[in-house]
Structure 1
């Protein structure tokens, strides 16, 4: 089944919900970053949640998420837009630990339990919206739950899971974001909290063939989910040779001359997709001339 996301409401319109199957998305990020199992889970959870957050935006809006913990993975960065496109990178991909006491990949140990999550939204305005909160657990889902409550003042439950095969590839990935709108009765909130605690792990549901619709029905009940929208989700990087040329054209003349005369060319690799771009000496001379003109 191809990756996709649904947007829905429940509980007579008092609850907004998103659910995603992101197995291919997480696998593509893993493949490009060459992550080991625990780092794969951290990267996969991050890109899964970021992709869902991207679909909360409109038009050409986009957002960037940065998780900066004190663990060995180093910073994890993901960005997404309203079209269902996302990408991510992890600073140190070769991180793996034994399973934690719950028998799960030890994401908190990899990410760290101290640090910050920041979310920058580019809404096409002069100023970007930036929210930053401390990491509360390092498990990522709980950290985003805290982000929504603290930075956006929206009571939210966030869940994301990634299962990794013995060959390091992603077996299953998915997640949900559930937001309680103002005026929702306390008993409804309590009911949702209990249901979320009682359902199997999201990655297990995806592995068993459950769809995003099934995930929300597990939480709310079959008759209680009203799907508003369904959209494909995929990995997409915005890097290009033109962007690389623009970046090189912006460096100072001395550095550019060194690339031409000493290095005899330039090579750049995209953090997100690991695509390698090579510029010849002749192309650099051409860039320099166009810069001078």
Structure 2
């Protein structure tokens, strides 16, 4: 079953709702970064959240989530685009903490106190960035808080990642519900009742429930129109050329020092852990390029 995201709206325009299955996407990220369970859950929730928040992106728009917590996981950085492509990493992927008394992964404790930054690059002169303090570190609560406080859009967010005993991700997904100004009290009451009865998203995904069926659970008793279904996936656009440009940006002195001390360089992409090896001759060409760019 491939990963995908559903966009839907109430027939009367009183709310919009997004739901996604991201199991394969999150599992690929876990494998690439060799994440232990709590890191896989935190990264997977953030990636899923980015896809849900970015569901209305257009063209070359990019959304970036930065969860900067003081806990042992360190920073979590994720970007998503209009094509449903997402990538991300957690600063300390091999972190272990004991489960909560309820038997759940302690994501909140692993993230800790800190701030959530949301940047929307819509191709304008300056990207828009909003930030709020983390309210729990559990990611879903923090995203809902951000949307309600910073973007003035009352929202409910549910995110889940189920990790097996062999560390593999066997279910991941999420849902985002946003209330529109014209929503009636009756509509709000129905939504609240349905949300209160919603099982954990990860368990629904694990049982084979689709994003459409999850939306039906939350909107039971209301008329909803499905707008679009689109694939989502882990995708990083790093390349030899981009990493070469990064090395050029280090300047002549730094590249000369690498040549003298190591004779070669290995550059890792933070987002996907892909390794790029630059031999001596590659670094010499980079030096020539730097010299050429400095020549008037």
Whether the 8 Å CA contact 1:62–1:80 is kept in 2: the answer is yes
Deviations 1:5-30 (A, max 9, x none): 00001252211110000000110111
Alpha-carbon RMSD: 1.2
Q: Quick check: 160-169 or 53-62, which moved more?
A: 53-62
Q: How many aligned positions are there? A: 292
Gaps of 5+ in 2: none
Correspondence for 2:105:
105
SS in 1 for 2:250: coil
- Alpha-carbon contact 1:217-1:224 (below 8 Å) kept: no
- Which residue matches 1:214? 213
Shift of 1:123: 0.8
Q: Which runs of 4+ in 1 moved over 3 A?
A: none
Matching residue of 2:141: 142
**CA–CA separation in structure 1 for the residues paired with 2:153 and 2:64:** 19
The 5 Å alignment of 1:48-87 reads 48-87=48-87
Of 271-280 and 185-194, more deviation after overlay is shown by 185-194
1:190 maps to 2:189: yes
Structure 2 equivalent of residue 160 of structure 1: 159
The alpha carbon displacement at 1:194 in A equals: 2.1
Tell me the secondary structure at the aligned position of residue 68 of structure 1.
Answer: strand
SS of the residue corresponding to residue 64 of structure 2 reads strand
Q: Deviations over 1:162-202 (max 9, x none)?
A: 10011100010010011111111123123212211211110
Contact 1:55 1:83 in 2 (8 A): no
Give the drift of 1:40.
Answer: 1.0
Give the CA deviation at 1:284. Answer: 1.1
Tell me, in whole angstroms, the C-alpha distance in 1 between the residues paired with 2:60 and 2:114: 30
In structure 2, distance between residues paired with 1:33 and 1:123: 29
